[in-house]
């Protein structure tokens, strides 16, 4: 590939205790020896750390939440594109993906590429649809139900043994050991992410994850499994290690082949003591721990960029087993003027 400079816009710069994938995605892209890039950060909040971190975004812009309305959202994208001539946008947050997928044809007409799953792929793997998804693709999944009100909580004990998982449709997952805890989690999650709230059967075992990339034609371009070694109270991995697990990789390749998945994805599974694997969640984008895959030898952000540009990308065949990541907090010192400029002007 030539070294023509590409302008790539990236969202998900909220690198906090509930980190977005944007910063590690940028790190992977910047490590590419084939792609010369100018990175445009797109942030929803004024205090997203990726705005102010050195070597992340060459320029950062504030954008409105998609919930503010498609017209307002697209007007801002057009404004940024007029200034920056964006070649590719990589959205990294669950709550924005549906909007970006719907707008992908409009973006393409503007000269902005994306590499995202289809609406059908995105919808059928929703947490609320997971039982039907598992049956369709012959994958074991825990039993789950969607609840719409506190009145539904009373019937949970008739369908599941406690504890159960209580999950938001986009983010957040909490254990509940009794109905009172379900009420508490339901109120918190529904207020933040809306309805429905998903209640999922608890499967005892070890949580394992795979980050993967599908080319849209049924081929797995990259896949790296890992086990979480430290988990925060938000359920996020704060440390992890790559695994040698052929069964996890077989499940991943089968799923990508059968769904013809296009783009990045994260598979969250439980491995039981008997060696069974249950799919508990499918995230339709690159996860925040993707830099572990980069460090293990599979630069998934780089490969996604190349696929988006229509290049032939040779699938990764190996990765380094026993590679670890440990996340840490870091006090980033910046000037008040930077914060004020971004807050008032919407760019930095």
Per-residue pLDDT of 109-153, as tens digits, reads 999 999 999 999 999 998 889 999 999 999 999 988 888 888 888
Q: Which residues pair with 166 in a beta bridge?
A: 174, 199
DSSP state of 53: S
Beta carbons within 8 Å of 174's beta carbon, 6+ residues apart: 165, 166, 167, 181, 185, 189, 235
Least confident segment among 28-37, 182-191, 220-229: 182-191
Query: pLDDT at residue 3 above 70?
Result: no
pLDDT band at 273 (very low <50, low <70, confident <90, very high): very high
Calpha distance 92→263 (Å, rounded) = 11
Query: Do 297 and 316 form a contact (C-beta atoms < 8 A)?
Result: yes
Question: Mapping DSSP to helix (H, G, I), strand (E, B) and coil, where does residue 325 land?
Answer: strand
pLDDT tens per residue across span 49-85: 999 999 999 999 999 999 889 999 999 999 999 999 9
Query: pLDDT at residue 15 above 70?
Result: yes
Calpha distance 325→193 (Å, rounded) = 29
pLDDT band at 234 (very low <50, low <70, confident <90, very high): low
> Which domains, ranges and CATH numbers included, belong to the chain?
5-115+331-345 (3.40.50.20), 143-201 (3.30.1490.20), 204-326 (3.30.470.20)
Calpha distance 74→324 (Å, rounded) = 39
Query: Do 150 and 186 form a contact (C-beta atoms < 8 A)?
Result: yes
What's CA 347's distance to the chain center, in Å?
24
Query: pLDDT at residue 28 above 60?
Result: yes
Calpha distance 94→186 (Å, rounded) = 19
pTM confidence score? 0.91
Percent of the chain with pLDDT over 90: 74
Higher pLDDT, 226 or 143: 226
């Amino acid at each position: 590939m030539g070294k023509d400079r590409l302008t790539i816009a990236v969202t998900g710069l909220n690198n906090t205790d509930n980190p977005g994938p944007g910063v590690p995605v940028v790190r992977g892209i910047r490590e590419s020896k084939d792609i010369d890039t100018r990175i445009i950060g797109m942030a929803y909040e004024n205090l997203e750390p990726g705005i102010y971190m050195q070597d992340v975004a060459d320029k950062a812009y504030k954008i409105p939440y998609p919930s503010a309305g498609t017209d307002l959202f697209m007007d801002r994208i057009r404004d940024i594109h007029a200034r920056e001539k964006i070649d590719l946008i990589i959205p990294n947050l669950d709550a924005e993906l549906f909007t970006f997928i719907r707008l992908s044809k409009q973006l393409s007409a503007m000269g902005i590429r994306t590499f995202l799953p289809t609406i059908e792929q995105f919808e059928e793997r929703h947490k609320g649809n997971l039982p039907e998804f598992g049956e369709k693709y012959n994958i074991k999944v825990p039993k789950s139900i969607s609840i719409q009100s506190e009145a539904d909580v009373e019937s949970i004990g008739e369908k599941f043994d406690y504890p159960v998982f209580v999950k938001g449709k986009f983010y957040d997952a909490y254990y509940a050991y009794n109905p009172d805890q379900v009420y508490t989690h339901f109120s918190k999650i529904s207020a933040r992410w809306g309805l429905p709230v998903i209640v999922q059967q608890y499967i005892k075992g070890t949580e394992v994850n795979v980050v993967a990339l599908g080319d849209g034609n049924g081929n797995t371009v990259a896949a790296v499994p890992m086990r979480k070694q430290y988990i925060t109270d938000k359920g996020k991995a704060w440390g992890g290690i790559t695994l040698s697990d052929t069964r996890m990789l077989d499940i991943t390749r089968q799923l990508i082949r059968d769904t013809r998945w296009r783009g990045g994805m994260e598979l969250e599974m439980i491995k039981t003591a008997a060696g069974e694997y249950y799919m508990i969640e499918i995230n339709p984008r690159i996860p925040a721990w993707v830099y572990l895959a980069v460090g293990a030898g599979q630069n998934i952000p780089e490969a996604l960029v190349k696929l988006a540009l229509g290049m032939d990308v040779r699938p990764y065949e190996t990765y380094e087993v026993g590679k670890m990541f440990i996340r840490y907090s870091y006090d980033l010192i910046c000037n008040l003027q930077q914060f004020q400029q971004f807050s008032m002007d919407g760019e930095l």
